């Protein structure tokens, strides 16, 4: 079946850039997402990219999509301690309004 994989942990220093990577198997996915989960809270959509784009930038966030390699990345510039959270990669699964989720990458930002 379809799968989404991402590394489980990332540790960076405050002020550095963070890059979180994700690979997926479903080549028919039209939307790809990054969600953020802060401790004790539900998930919130951080950003998304449509499959006909290869890059999307939103303030400190840059999403890169390589459709050929089925690789999605999220870059956070000037990472702050408030960015410490779990980041989930997700892709849509065809037309049935379901999403396929990665396991989440726990980002730790060290002062």
* Contact with another protein (CB under 8 A) among 10, 70, 79, 102: 102
CA distance 33 to 104: 12
Window 62 to 101, contacts with another protein (CB under 8 A): 88, 92, 97-99, 101
Candidate list 44, 57, 66, 110; residue touching another protein; CB under 8 A: 44
Q: Which residues contact 18 (CB under 8 A, 6 or more apart)?
A: 10, 12, 74, 75, 76, 79, 83, 107, 109
Six token digits for residue 23: 């690979």
Q: How far is the CB of 32 from another protein (least distance, A)?
A: 10
- Residues 6-35, one symbol each (x = binds another protein by CB under 8 A, - = not), give -------------------------x-x--
Contacts of 96 (CB under 8 A, 6+ apart): none
Site residues (vs another protein, CB under 8 A): 31, 33, 40-45, 48, 50, 88, 92, 97-99, 101-104
């Amino acid at each position: 079946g379809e799968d989404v994989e991402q590394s489980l942990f990332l540790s960076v220093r405050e002020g550095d850039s963070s890059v979180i990577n994700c690979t997926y198997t479903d080549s028919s996915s039209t939307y790809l997402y990054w969600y953020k989960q802060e401790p004790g809270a539900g998930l919130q959509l951080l950003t998304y990219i449509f499959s006909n784009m290869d890059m999307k930038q939103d303030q400190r966030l840059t999403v890169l999509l390589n459709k050929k390699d089925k690789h999605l990345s999220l870059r956070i510039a000037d990472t702050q301690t408030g960015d410490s959270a779990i980041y989930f990669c997700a892709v849509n699964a065809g037309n049935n309004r379901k999403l396929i989720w990665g396991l989440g990458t726990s980002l730790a930002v060290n002062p």
